[in-house]
Structure 1
Amino acid sequence: MADKEKSGKSDWFDWVKALLIAFGLAFVVRMFFFAPIVVDGPSMLPTLENGDQMIVNKFIYQVSEPERFDIVVFHASAQQDFIKRVIGLPGEHVAYEDNVLYIDGEPVEEPFMEEKEDMYQLHTTDFSLENLPGDHETVPEGHLLVLGDNRGNSTDSRMLGVIPMDEIVGEASLIYWPLDRIQLVGE
């Protein structure tokens, strides 16, 4: 009888220990590697829809630099994170003229905009980096210029200025919900 009691307590302790380890691992993964985010609003249409649930890779920018057209999540304020697309990288001059992106005076294609042109009116109002908050001639080191894909309805670098890298949470590239929208984006 004593062996049965001892065995029952041991089994119970093993289950508690396994659950604590699982919760600990989940906490570490959530804090340092991946986090969920829900797209809130129309600023990334047509690429991302309101209510899309995504995974944010919080680790990627610890081992690599952001690339143009990555979709990133950043702290817009203490209470709110935004999701936008990287357009300008440190050291670059960014301008839009007649709906064409210019990086350092050279036109750059935005393939993610062209493939949805028939479905949406995707027009970017003319601007240059000097006209944005901060009055920069080039994107400063440690900063990014970001825009929403729905250029007519997006609070982005045109209003916020360039975004410091230490405000970047990570890259969002996987929609996992709703099921009919599961896909990698930004590729």
Structure 2
Amino acid sequence: MSNAKKEMMEWVIAILIGLVVVMLCRMYIATNYEVIGKSMMPTLEDHDRVIVTKLSNIDRMDIIIFKNPNTEAYVKRVIGLPGDSIKYENDELYINNKKVTETFLSSNLAYQHPEENFTEDFELEALTGQKTVPADKLFVLGDNRISSLDSRYFHFIDEQDVIGEVAARYWPLPDATINLVTE
């Protein structure tokens, strides 16, 4: 085989190996996602692009992407983990009867100047028929509570439907951030 053909074969093999590595990374390590909708505003805006890591353990207040059988994937914030009791009263979140401050909501104009409660009062049991989040389930809410279709409407999501945790926003460039606020 001539040197030119040998070099061409080496390039083809290198490119194929590179493509396989990229595909495996996207399948098992991380992928990208375009935010569709306004349910996570102002934390994430419509058409923002984010990196989603598939290796993270999901914790309370993490922003996740999960499969929805009826539409494309959703992006929401994890509020309740298995075993948690959840209640909203007078715009205050209580998890397991302890008040939880949601600092990420403070930049939302509707939250800063509410004409009514930003998050309507509810108790998990009245909403879902369950006192606590069941095993292998999560309770999720959008940061833009006024216009978010979330667990208040479709109740719990299956942990197995989680695609991954939002690790960074990379588009638009002026808003790029590595650590999104999670507290």
TM-score by length of 1: 0.89
- Coordinate RMSD, CA, aligned: 1.4
Which one-letter code corresponds to 1:113 in the other structure? L
**CA positional deviation for 1:6:** 1.1
Which one-letter code corresponds to 1:155 in the other structure? L
**CA positional deviation for 1:41:** 0.8
Q: Deviation string for 1:11-33 (max 9, x for gaps)?
A: 01001000100100010001111
Q: 27, 34, 39: which is aligned to 1:31?
A: 27
SS in 2 for 1:11: helix
1:1-187 alignment, distance < 5 Å? 6-60=2-56, 64=57, 66-77=58-69, 79-114=71-106, 116-117=107-108, 119-121=109-111, 123-133=118-128, 135-184=129-178, 185-187=180-182
Moved over 3 A (4+): none
SS in 2 for 1:87: strand
Q: Unaligned stretches of 5+ in structure 1?
A: none
Q: Percent identity at matched positions?
A: 38
SS in 1 for 2:25: helix
Q: Unaligned stretches of 5+ in structure 2?
A: none
Alpha-carbon distance between aligned partners in 1 of 2:48 and 2:12, rounded to the nearest angstrom: 35
SS in 2 for 1:96: strand
SS in 1 for 2:40: coil
**CA positional deviation for 1:79:** 4.1
Alpha-carbon distance between aligned partners in 2 of 1:106 and 1:78, rounded to the nearest angstrom: 34
Alpha-carbon distance between aligned partners in 1 of 2:71 and 2:16, rounded to the nearest angstrom: 30
Q: Is the 8 A contact 1:46 1:120 kept in 2?
A: no
Q: Deviation string for 1:83-142 (max 9, x for gaps)?
A: 00011111010010110001122211111112x15x333600111111224x11100111
Alpha-carbon distance between aligned partners in 1 of 2:81 and 2:149, rounded to the nearest angstrom: 19
Which one-letter code corresponds to 1:181 in the other structure? D
Alpha-carbon distance between aligned partners in 2 of 1:79 and 1:16, rounded to the nearest angstrom: 38
Q: Is the 8 A contact 1:132 1:157 kept in 2?
A: no
Q: How many residues align?
A: 176
Pick the structure with greater CA Rg.
1
